[in-house]
Structure 1
Amino acid sequence: MPTDTPLRLRILDAVTDVPAADWDALAGPDAPPFARHAWLAAMEESGSATEETGWAPHHLTIWRGPKLVAAAPAYRKFHSMGEYIYDFGWADAAARLGVEYYPKLIVGGPLSPATVPRMLIAQGEDIPALRKALLIAAVESAQEAGCSSVHILYPTDEEADFLEEQGLARRVTLQFQWKNPGYASYDDYLSRFDSKRRHQLKRERAAAATQGITLRTVRSAELTQAHAKRAFEFYEATCERHSWGRVQLTPDFFSRVFKAMPDSVEMVEAVREGRVIAGAFNLATKERLYGRYWGSIEEHPFLHFHVCLYHSVDDCIRAGRKVFEPGAGGEHKVSRGFEPTAVHSAHVIFDRRLDSAVRDYVRRERARLNMAVEEAEQISGLKPWPLPKIQTG
């Protein structure tokens, strides 16, 4: 198809309005699971991310003739749950100004706090031009749909640079991620800690054996619908156990993902006296592990750390994975070797008063990040600690 063929924008009400092969060709063969068509389709078709649940699909696609050349997953949002780039305070400020904050348009995936390419571009295309076309489409379609703002969540560093250059307010927040510089064994990893922290980790890691608990990871062909059912039950139990918890995913979501993406799904199981008492639903690529949801039906000291952290760190070392992203929050991860890592978002709000206030807020927030990183260094016990300085200019 000649590159001078006019481009055409289509807003999709469902990701299934475009063939999976076309979408995944943009994402590429090594794309994180959250960028894949099957993940988004499972979210929508299971009833987990729909207009009724506050996630109205509004996917941006650009076509040259019959060929899909660019796409960005997007949703009109009617609340701020399930995004993990917290803007509840912005919504409160909007209310004080008399601005209707919802709906807003987010570019990103539902319930997936992971850095993922947000602007998918076909090979051989003009990347800056199509990124700009997607951004213009996001802003203009959001305004036409009565949205207050556009928020691009968890873009790559390169995309965040581009969005900042285009005038969006760039927000930098922290996640705690495990990094592998080339460990040969778990003991090799432990050697990076000072003696006090190393003793603590050995003691906590040894607890499972004294409790009669064994852990294993179930992958690929071993996964069954029984595992999918168990994953939902653990997820539901955790949501209901905490006051902030909210069940947003349906059993059908897990069923669909286990069927459609067995190459990407991993299930950590903790077994005691022949019964699975806890588990974690994770996603993986060759180089990265993504922790998503966990739960338990019994309480034991350090069980959460075993299921969600220690066992998977050991797995990552054996597999040679470079990064383990266990999800949002969790400062307790720092003392267990997870390093503060910058993640990004970009924002534009159509009310000038609120936009100005948000830009001032993100500047001040960003200036405080290096203090948070240095505080983490004080409690980490890692030696040497590679401080990831955050650009605050």
Structure 2
Amino acid sequence: MFELEFADTIADVGQDAWDTLAGSAYPFTRYCFLHALEQTGAVAAKSGWQPHHLLVKRDGQVCGVMPGYLKSHSYGEYVFDWAWADAYHRYGSEYYPKLLFAIPFTPATGPRLCVAEGSDRDAVLAAVANQLPDYVAGMGVSSLHILFSDADTADCWQAEGFSQRVGPQYHWFNNGYRDFDDFLARFSSRKRKNLRKERRTVADQGLTLERLSGDQVSPELWRFFFHCYQITYAKRSGHGGYLPEQFFSQLAQTMPEQLVLVLARHEGEPVAAALNFRGDNTLYGRYWGCIREYDFLHFEACYYQGIEYCIEQGLARFDPGAQGEHKIQRGFEPILTYSNHWLADPAFARAVEDFLDRERDHIAAYLSEAESLLPFKAE
């Protein structure tokens, strides 16, 4: 018999207990990543991200964990449910708080329910799916949401009665390329010429780029990166970003081996930076910023440097983050991402299910069109 408990801080679980289940293959479920979010105040009740982590126990032993949060808004999730919240409000019901299982501010597909080695993962998931709705109803929460699971796990949640939602992203896949030119050999002649022109333009502007692992980045460069990060958010949304400077400096101490900083210099002076996280077989592009604008520098720092790194390191995939149709012509393939949802109100649940059915058809048509825009030669 499985039992569910909740922890209001990850420190209540402890690093050894958490990491025994979560491992380190996927950087964003590591204790040190989630703990840094809490310890630096990036997630807290006052920011609308109250930690509420799920613990699955059997015979008194924790056999599963799932990072969770009670949300009082829908910012920082990248699976947009504002219309659902508005519909609840218009009918006099409260959508918030809701219970969210996700990695804050991180639209990167990966494990959410982390299960002990040797445990029956399907049985644990089924027990969680069976018990969570009663828990949600008992605490007066409108809904629960599981964001950016892998496809197989999302299908399991759906089989257990959770609605499934899909969305598009653009990922690069390593087909055993020897080097960047080998990757470009797949392009049509015109598209290959365009991409080479972009890279040459970056060099012609006197820019040089280097890739640094976390332990190679000095405190001064971390401060520079954070300044770039704030500039990007100020341009995009008028605030300095969700994450404080201490968050990044803490990760530099606790998980430097999974940090890859791309640094751009002009005449020796740092002018731009892009931060990536490395998993066992995937590179995740996360944050970027520049203090001056240069032609095509964003593509070089955020995409081409990451591709070169994956080829050199033998990584299978590069997930550069959400949005960005301009990635398609640069060899990033359109893929589906998955989320699962359960709403306590039956009428709203049916309405959302109908919406998701129609949205799914639209996204399937969009992906088919997007695939036709890939730069690769016909095979």
TM bucket, shorter chain: over 0.9
Between the aligned partners of 1:330 and 1:215, the Cα distance in structure 2 is 22
How far has the Cα of 1:245 moved from its partner? 5.9
Q: Report the 3-state secondary structure (helix = DSSP H, G, I; strand = E; otherwise coil) of the residue aligned with 1:368.
A: helix
Contact 1:280 1:294 survives alignment (8 Å):
yes
Q: Extract unaligned runs of 5+ from structure 1.
A: 1-5, 386-393
Question: Unpaired segments of 5 or more residues in structure 2?
Answer: none
How many Å separate the matches in 2 of 1:383 and 1:15?
Answer: 49
The aligned amino acid for 1:223 is V
CA–CA separation in structure 1 for the residues paired with 2:96 and 2:273: 36
SS in 1 for 2:373: helix
> 1:149 maps to what in 2?
143
> Relative to structure 1, is the Cα distance of residues 194 and 156 closer, same or farther in structure 2, using a 3 angstrom cutoff?
same
Query: 1:269, 1:278 within 8 Å by CA — same for their partners in 2?
Result: yes
Structure 2 residue 17 is matched with structure 1 residue 22: yes
- The match for 2:186 is 192
2:372 corresponds to 1:353: no
Select between 41-50 and 57-66 the one with higher mean Cα deviation. 57-66
Is the 2:158–2:340 contact (alpha carbons within 8 Å) kept by the matching residues of 1? yes
Correspondence 1:47-58 to 2 at 5 A: 47-58=41-52
The answer (yes or no) to whether the contact 1:116–1:154 under 8 Å persists in 2 is yes
Distance 2:68 2:130 in 1: 13
1:20 to partner: Cα distance: 0.9
Please list, as runs of the form range in 1=range in 2, the aligned pairs for 1:325-344 lying within 5 A after superposition. Answer: 325-344=319-338
Change in Cα spacing, 1:141 to 1:58, as seen in structure 2 (3 Å) is farther
Confirm or deny: 8 A CA contact 1:70 1:120 kept in the other structure.
yes
**Shift of residue 253 of structure 1?**
0.9
Taking the aligned partners of 1:203 and 1:113, their CA distance within structure 2 comes to 31
| TM-score, normalised with respect to structure 2 | 0.96
**Cα distance, 1:209 vs structure 2:** 1.1
Farther-moved stretch of structure 1 (375-384 vs 20-29): 375-384
- Of residues 20-29 and 162-171 in structure 1, the stretch that sits farther from structure 2 once superposed is 20-29
Q: Contact between 1:231 and 1:254, CA under 8 Å: does it hold in 2?
A: no
Amino acid at match of 2:337: V
Which of 213, 217, 220 aligns to 1:219? It is 213
- The equivalent position to 2:272 in structure 1, one of 261, 278, 282, is 278
The 2-side partners of 1:375 and 1:292 are apart by: 26
User: Does residue 120 in structure 1 map to residue 114 in structure 2?
Assistant: yes
Structure 1 moving runs of 4+ over 4 Å: none
**What whole-Å deviation, never above 9, does each CA across 1:181-213 have from its counterpart, x for those lacking one?**
111111111111111111110100111210100
TM-score, structure 1 as length reference:
0.92
Q: Give yes or no for the alignment of 1:248 onto 2:248.
A: no
Contact 2:99 2:141 in 1 (8 A): yes
Report the CA distance between 1:148 and its aligned residue: 0.7
Report which stretch shifted further, 375-384 or 88-97. Answer: 375-384
Deviations 1:284-337 (A, max 9, x none): 023210000100001011111111011111111111111000011011101111
Shift of 1:65: 4.8
Shift in Å, 1:171? 0.5
Deviation of 1:273 after TM superposition, in Å, equals 1.3
Q: Is the 8 A contact 1:227 1:267 kept in 2?
A: no
Equivalenced residues, count: 379
